Chains A and B, each alone.
Chain A
Amino acid sequence: EPEVTQTPSHQVTQMGQEVILRCVPISNHLYFYWYRQILGQKVEFLVSFYNNEISEKSEIFDDQFSVERPDGSNFTLKIRSTKLEDSAMYFCASSKEGVTAAGGYTFGSGTRLTVV
C-alpha cells in the first residue's frame, strides 16, 4: 500500500537554527498538508498546499514557516529560526482529491522535532 514517507524520524536542533522537515507524498496525490502535535496537546493544522501554492494556513503558520515542493516529489516544511515552543511531532499528509475525499488523507509517521 502506498505510503507517505517522512524524514528524519527525530531531529534535535539548537534554538535559532533553521530546520527542514522532509516528506515524500504518494505519487499521484495532488494535495499536501502539514500538521503538528505538541506533546500532550491536540493535533493542529498548519498548512495545505495545492498546485504549487498555499491554499490555507493557520495562525500558527507565521513568517517563520514556509513550505515548498522543490522537485515534484518532495514536500518540505522549513522553520527559519526555531524556538523552544516549536518542539513537536510534525505530520505530513497527502490526498488525491482534497476536501472532497473527506478524510481521505494519508498521513506519514511523523518527525519529532526537539529544540534545545
Chain B
Amino acid sequence: GDSVTQMEGPVTLSEEAFLTINCTYTATGYPSLFWYVQYPGEGLQLLLKATKADDKGSNKGFEATYRKETTSFHLEKGSVQVSDSAVYFCALLNQGAQKLVFGQGTRLTINP
C-alpha cells in the first residue's frame, strides 16, 4: 500500500540555519504530495503542496520539489526562525483516493 517515510526527529537547529527534512514515499500511480505543519496547541495546517513531478511547492520561505525519480519530497528552508518550531508532516493523496497518507511527523525546534 501507499506509505510515507520521514526522517526521524527531533531536529534542533539554531536560528538562521539551513533546514532539510527528508521525505520519501511509496505509491501506485501519481499522487499529490503535501507538507503539513502543526504549531503547538493548533491543528494541522497545509504548508505547501505539489501535484505532479518536478513541481515545486513553496510557502513562508519553505520549499519542496516533487522528485518522481527518487520518490522524494524533501522540505527545505534557507534560514529558519524560532517561530518555525513545530511538527512537520509529509503526506500523499493518491489519485482517486479519499484519504491522506501521512508520515510520522518530525518535531523541529529552533533555538535563538
Contacts and interface: CB of A to CB of B under 8 A. Distances in A.
Nearest to B33: A103
A111 B46 CA distance: 19
Contacts of B97: 99
Interface in B8-52: 32, 34, 36, 41-46, 49, 51
Contacts of B96: 99
A75 interface: no
A89 B73 CA distance: 26
A13 interface: no
A54 to B, nearest CB: 10
B7 interface: no
B18 to A, nearest CB: 26
Interface residues of A, number: 29
A42 B102 contact: yes
Contact of A43 (B41, B49, B102): B102
Interface in A20-54: 33, 35, 37, 40-45, 48
Interface of B: 4, 32, 34, 36, 41-46, 49, 51, 89, 91, 93, 96-105
